[in-house]
Amino acid sequence: MGYGFGSFEPLCRTVPSYPHCNLFLRQLNSDAPETLREPSLDVAGVGVNPQCAILRVGDGRLGNIGNIIACGLSFFVVLALILRASRRKAAVGLVEFRLFLSMYALSLIFQILTTGSFLRQTSTALVVLTAIHMGIVAALGWALVANGLVSLQWVEDGTISSLAPFWGLTVAFFIATLYISLDTALGWTSAFGPSNPPIAQKNIPLFVLTSIWPGVAAVAYLIIMMVVILRILRERRPVGFYISAFLLFAVAQVIYFVVSRYICTASNAKVDGSLIATVLETGSIVMLFVGWKSITEESWEEPWYSN
């Protein structure tokens, strides 16, 4: 049964390791406990009535080890990129790009916490961590678009004229999504509280900010960078880096949302597509770094982009 646009029900049922589901399980557990399946919440993986979910292992404190390892390794890869970027003191958009990388690294930490089954489902701690994670996801979309706009050099990068809108909208996206997420899980108000029926897990603002907006941001960033590279720099070599980054991101989403449950089933719920998706998304970030580095090389002769 479909519940229309903004419903997380099909995603929480068919996509393993989908952290958004942590925000709905609490209200379902209190309002309609019959909708929950065994195993109990003490050992359950991420999802609501999931077709396949990775359970906690060992003494019941850890699950989804494959994605935890992928996130951990990706975190150190991104740290290395930040250090390499920091050496390029005069590169255009250095401050803004480094902030974007830092936000992505932070999102990896929260991905571990919200999908690794460290905390009991429906616990307040898991809800708060998931809400912060959702806020970072939404803010990361704006940070990406902002980096593209900085490349247009409408304002001087690294100055208050550039950083004020960067931080202002980043914080706005974060706070708005954080509040909506917390209200969804804790039912502070009727605006974002339990959907009707609760099993629909419907929240249009949350769906747009965390599931639609990141994809829109990726497309917008690609378009901006194509304008910068082809119309302003009049170069072709960096195009391949940015297209590769976009394709890696797109393939990661396909694997995560479409293929993940088949991987979970085939592996008897040992791993799912989140592991592969995390690796591909980090590969996308690496390609963005390579692309950024290529358009800020000191060999550029254009004064518009000179170091």
pLDDT digits (tens, 9 = 90+) for 114-144: 998 788 888 899 999 999 999 999 999 999 9
What average pLDDT does range 275-280 have in this prediction? 96
Residue 86: its pLDDT value, please?
A: 87
CA–CA gap between residue 84 and residue 274 (Å, rounded): 27
**pLDDT in the model for residue 300:** 42
d(CA 263, CA 279): 15
Closest CA relative to residue 110, chosen from 91, 88, 131, 90: 131
The pLDDT of residue 199 is 81
Predicted confidence (pLDDT) per residue in 243-254, tens digit: 999 999 999 999
Question: What residue ranges do the domains of the chain occupy?
Answer: 11-305
Average pLDDT over residues 266-273: 91
Packing angle of the helix pair 124-151, 94-115 (nearest 10 deg): 160
Question: Which pLDDT does position 59 carry in this prediction?
Answer: 58
What does the pLDDT average to over 47-64? 78
| Per-residue model confidence as pLDDT tens digits over 91-102 | 778 889 999 999
pLDDT band for 306, please (50, 70, 90 cuts).
very low
pLDDT above 90 coverage of the chain, percent: 56
Average pLDDT over residues 280-306: 76
Q: What pLDDT, on the 0 to 100 scale, is given for residue 34?
A: 46
CA 170/CA 165 separation, integer angstroms: 8
DSSP 48: S
Topology adopted by domain 11-305? Rhopdopsin 7-helix transmembrane proteins (1.20.1070)
Give the model's confidence band at 236: pLDDT under 50 very low, under 70 low, under 90 confident, else very high.
Answer: confident
Contacts 24+ apart (CB under 8 A), 182-185: 182/127, 182/128, 182/131, 184/23, 184/24, 184/27, 185/22, 185/23, 185/24, 185/26, 185/27, 185/127, 185/130, 185/131
Of 271 and 191, which is predicted with more confidence?
271
Handedness of CA 138, 130, 195, 10 (dihedral sign): positive
